[in-house]
Amino acid sequence: MSRRRLSRALAVALTLAAAAAVTGPRPAQAEPIPRAPGHRLVDAYQGAPAAARPLPGKQPPQHPFLAANGRSGMHADAWGSATYPWNGPLGRHPQVSSERMAPLGGECANATFDREGRVVTVCGTFTGFLVKLLDPRTLVTLAEYKLPQRPSTVEAITRLDFSRIFKDTSGGAYSYLDDQDRLVLADSRQHLLRLAHRQAPDGTWSFSATDDWDLGGHVPHDCVTWTNLHPSGECDPVTSVVPDWTGRIWWVTWQGRVGTVDPAIGTIRSVQLTGEEIQNSFSVAEDGVAIVSDHALYDFRASADGTPEMVWRQTYDRGTGTKPGSVNQGSGTTPDIFGEGGKYVAITDNADDRMHVLVYRRGADVPADRRLVCEIPVFGSGASTTDNSLISWGDSLVVENNYGYENISSLTFGRSVVGGVTRIDVRRDGSGCDTVWESAERSPSTVPKLSTADGLLYLYTKDPNPLGIDAWYLTAVDFRTGATRFKQLVGTGINYDNNWAPITLGPDGTAYVGVFNGLTAVHDGN
């Protein structure tokens, strides 16, 4: 079946599943995600258990308005390091579990952890996003809160264009858990919400909205809905929200709006980057906010009344088109703030032949000709892009190659991407950067993570298979050397394609991976 025919078939199935989800009863407890045929014909485990080797260095500073580092959001902390201060699985008798969130779809795009280790996640179904509270070991749903359906989902169903969903980063995927265990997100109505979860005397759990700020006065919201299939106005989805060090909540939109909400008094301020898109999240240091559009990298700060003010702007090579493996024609990375005192910020570009890792000095007083530290080409000629954040630790960066991945139809029938993972270090004197190692692992679309407690880099990989089996593995790579330590089979088939969702390391050492049909978990056995 051609990719176009498969995409159309998936869109039809999506329509039927959405109708079933609306009319049919939802089971009290979701079952494990079904595996496709062939799981007995591939290796369940490769390699050997690893010994934990903690990495030297300092953790990013703890943000005063976020949950503890490692618990707060997709990129683990305010600097976007994608690192965790506790172990992940070490490959000792790994145990795999999963929870299916919907008849079709149900991917859990983000995972955070409250003080007791419960999972707070946002899962995308075709009738709307669901905020869920899960037991961290059994993955049983303890509570859920339904968010409105995204316009892109309505468009996918009505226009039979499945691809619209996979290029939409709005609706709650980039949410965060705050210092009071409240999940903060922007829904598809362009409302900024704070959701708290509580346990009743009878033991049941529930979510409630403690705050609701309508951004409609600053963000156009004539969007496609079931009652407005042909809107005449403009719709600008909010893609990400993150607080700054004063507690002010920053937000960005697809069409380049940058704004703030003062939660104490509800004041909303915004500016627009005309002609630019923002499809990634952003990172925050005590002295500024790092935002990347499809044209440039920015450092912002808030004025006295909360209006975003640009401190500096740095353009990069955005290439001549969108590559297979990118959401738009621009950088696919959330900026990483890193280095001593947060002196550097890193992104990737979208250069045509070979993508580059770019490192810049952050200081407001840095001369324009001194801003760029290095520009390192990565991966092969004509086959390099990433739409996932870099990993940063100390003066080191890790980047993966997503070239060739577009959606869940991209890698069916045993196909894979060209792959590649590379570590780059900034020189101690800041005079440039050097490539430390290169790995051939194929991690098609996950947000990879690093445990600084065990020294392992965690990927979600898929190798080509001559029998047409689509086997997905949690793969651990030595951060120091780039050597692969072990691979644990998570599942087979489209349902286990992670489709841009991250790996998240839980405080108990479990590695969670959001996949197309829900959430999976891998932890060491006895």
- Residues 480-512 have pLDDT tens digits of 999 999 999 999 999 999 999 999 999 999 999
Query: What is the pLDDT confidence band of residue 173, given thresholds at 50, 70 and 90?
Result: confident
- Please tell me the pTM assigned to this model: 0.93
Query: 3-523 has which CATH code?
Result: 2.130.10.10
Check whether 354 has a pLDDT greater than 90: yes
Q: What is the C-alpha separation between 247 and 192, in angstroms, rounded?
A: 14
Average pLDDT, rounded, for the chain: 92
CA distances from 407 to 52, 326, 445 (A): 35, 10, 9
Q: What is the C-alpha separation between 446 and 82, in angstroms, rounded?
A: 12
Token pair in block for residue 156: 């996918």
Portion of the chain with pLDDT greater than 70, in percent: 93
Q: What is the pLDDT of residues 30-49, one digit of tens each?
A: 589 999 999 999 999 999 99
Is 492 strand, coil or helix? strand
Q: What is the pLDDT of residues 410-433, one digit of tens each?
A: 999 999 999 999 999 999 999 999
CA distances from 97 to 36, 140, 186, 490 (A): 15, 11, 30, 8
Query: What is the pLDDT confidence band of residue 167, given thresholds at 50, 70 and 90?
Result: low
Task: Give the contacts of 230 (CB within 8 A, at least 6 positions apart).
Answer: none
Q: What is the C-alpha separation between 138 and 153, in angstroms, rounded?
A: 29
- CB contact burial 97-126 (16+ within 10 A = b; e otherwise): bbbbbbbbbbbbbbbbbbeeebbbbbbbbb
Query: What is the pLDDT confidence band of residue 306, given thresholds at 50, 70 and 90?
Result: very high
* H/E run at residue 165: helix 163-166
Q: What is the pLDDT of residues 73-127, one digit of tens each?
A: 999 999 999 999 999 999 999 999 999 998 888 999 999 999 999 999 999 887 7
Q: What is the pLDDT of residues 307-318, one digit of tens each?
A: 999 999 999 999
Give residue limits of the domains in the chain.
3-523
At residue 148, the pLDDT reads 87
β-pairing, 288-292 vs 296-302, is antiparallel
Place of tokens 């707060």: 72
Average pLDDT (168-187) is 91
At residue 68, the pLDDT reads 98
- How far from chain centre, in Å, is Cα 402? 14
Check whether 2 has a pLDDT greater than 60: no
Are the C-beta atoms of residues 360 and 352 closer than 8 Å to each other? no
Q: What is the C-alpha separation between 109 and 514, in angstroms, rounded?
A: 6
Q: What is the C-alpha separation between 218 and 221, in angstroms, rounded?
A: 9
- CB contact burial 380-389 (16+ within 10 A = b; e otherwise): eeebbbbbbb
Is 63 strand, coil or helix? coil
List the 471-478 sheet strands across, edge first.
Answer: 45-47, 484-492, 471-478, 456-461, 449-451, 83-84
Nearest to 10 by CA among 117, 147, 164: 164
Check whether 11 has a pLDDT greater than 70: no
Query: What is the pLDDT confidence band of residue 264, given thresholds at 50, 70 and 90?
Result: very high
Check whether 17 has a pLDDT greater than 70: no
At residue 3, the pLDDT reads 37
Amino acid at 121: T
